[in-house]
Structure formats: C-alpha cells, structure tokens
Amino acid sequence: MAERVEVLLSEEKVNARIRELGELISKEYAGKSIHVIGILKGGSFFMCELAKRITVPVSIDFMSVSSYGSSTESSGVVKVVKDLDESLIGKHVLVVEDIIDTGRTISYLMELLKGKGAVDVKLCALLDKPERRVVDVKADYIGFQIPDEFVVGYGLDYAQRYRNLPYIGIVKFDS
C-alpha cells in the first residue's frame, strides 16, 4: 500500500504559532527558570524550536516513552525507554510533546513526573487530537487542535519516516 502526504498546517503557520507559544510561556514564567523535558523522538523538533523562542532561562532534558511501535494505533502499554538525566526537585517543569492523541501515554508520563519533586509540571503540545481521547488530559499550552487524521512532519512519523517535514501533513493511503 502506497502513501502520500497532504499539507494540513504549513511551515509558516506552525512557526508563527510556536513563536506565540514561546511569548506566552515567557510571560507566565517571568522571573523564573524552567526545565523543559522533550519527549523523544517526535517532541524534539518542536521542543528545540519552542526553546529558542522562550526568553526566561531554560534547561533541557529528554525522555523517551513508547506506546506505538511501528503501528498507527497506540498499543495502550506505556514503557519508559529513556528516563531523565537530572532531578526535578525544586524545578518548574514544562513537558513538551508533539501530539496528544488518546491521552494514555502523556497521562501516565505526567503522573510519573509529578511524583519527582518538581514545583509544578505543565504540558505543552504542538498538536491536540481531542476526538481520539480515552484518558482525560488537558494541556496547559496547545499549538493546534486537529481532526482525527494520521499526521506526520515536524517530528511526527509514520514508521520512522517523514519526521523531517517542515510542516504538518496528513498521511493518505492509496490502495
């Protein structure tokens, strides 16, 4: 089965929204520093662009969690593949995720991180797909709410491909 990608959100639209999120986060954290946790692999593209637009002091770390494998459907089983390198005790934490889909993975992750001694833990997602939600998760900052389509680009992949697209696209499968 062949696939093609149709543009959903242009590179310009994505960049403009990330700039707005950076300004909002900078205002809300004025006078503080934040510890940004990028969720690998997909969230790294968004996290790097967002961090460049935050004007308060930023430190970064990464986590890798998995619930998809090579499928387009979440398995529902969350496993931590790479844990944090630094302690969260006393830090203002901002988790940066590429997409909130069913909510299972990020809900699990947020609860895990809240138990690690941070002052607060907030969530920023580039994309939110509320139609797919099975666990109630609310992000503090959202780039775009999108329809229930399988999307790629800006870090999101299909079987490890398309992460490098500078826009958000919908994968269309041709039979």
- 120 catalytic, yes or no? no
SS3 per-residue string spanning 17-80 = HHHHHHHHHHHHCCCCCEEEEEEECCHHHHHHHHHHCCCCCEEEEEEEEECCCCCCCCCCCCEE
Identify which of 55, 26, 32, 13 has the alpha carbon closest to the alpha carbon of residue 124. Answer: 26
Q: Which of 98, 101, 128, 157 is catalytic?
A: 101
Which positions are annotated as active-site residues?
Answer: 101
